[in-house]
Amino acid sequence: MAQFRIPGPLRRLADGHVTVDVEATDLVGAIVALDAQYPGFKDRLLDENGDLRQFVNIYLNDEDIRLGSGLGAKVGEKDEISIVPAVAGG
């Protein structure tokens, strides 16, 4: 099982959970699985073209997915997927 870390602003969607375990082989699959457990996540994270929304950063084991394989990145057992709002810093 891979594990999502849910940021504060989205925890209401996940019934207050800080982490959610999902069964998936890639990142898109993981988001679909998260959305199946807690509907609403897919729309918050992905735009109408299926791309990652502008103000969302996703880190797969601490690596920004936009710097790596993107949403097609393979996801394995014990991988940690962190959703982090992009608006920060500077």
Partner 1 sequence: MPKVIGLRCRECGAEYELQATHVCEMCFGPLDAVYDQAALKKVVSRQRIEQGPTSMWRYRDLLPVEDSVAVVTLGEGLTPLVKADRLGAELGLRNLYLKNDSMNPTNSFKDRVVSVAISWARAHGFETIACASTGNLANAVAAYAARAGLECFVFIPVDLEPAKVASISVFDPNLVTVRGNYDDVNRLCSQLIESTPWAFCNINIRPFYAEGSKTLTFETAEQLGWKLPDEIIIPIASGCQFVRHRQAARELIEYGLVRGDRVPAFTGAQALGCAPVYNAFHSDTPDRVLPVKPDTIARSIAIGNPSDGVYVNRIARETGGVVEAVTEEEIVNAMRLLARTEGIFTETAGGVTIGVLAKLARAGRWQGDEVVVAYVTGHGLKTADVLTSANGHARRVEIEPTMKSFREKVSL
DSSP single-letter state for residue 38: S
User: Which position among 15, 16, 54, 77 is part of the footprint of partner 1 (CB under 8 A)?
Assistant: 54
Q: Do 56 and 83 contact (CB within 8 A), yes or no?
A: yes
22 pairs with which residues across the strands? 2
Find the farthest-apart pair of alpha carbons in the chain and give their distance in angstroms, rounded. 36
Compute the residue count for the chain. Answer: 90
User: Under the criterion CB under 8 A, does residue 48 sit at the interface with partner 1?
Assistant: no
User: Under the criterion CB under 8 A, does residue 84 sit at the interface with partner 1?
Assistant: yes
Choose between 10 and 32: whose C-beta lies nearer to partner 1. 10
User: Which position among 8, 15, 16, 48 is part of the footprint of partner 1 (CB under 8 A)?
Assistant: 8
Q: Do 81 and 5 contact (CB within 8 A), yes or no?
A: yes
User: Which position among 39, 50, 72, 85 is part of the footprint of partner 1 (CB under 8 A)?
Assistant: 85
Residues interacting with partner 1, by CB under 8 A? 5, 7-10, 12, 44, 53-57, 59, 62, 64, 66-67, 82, 84-90
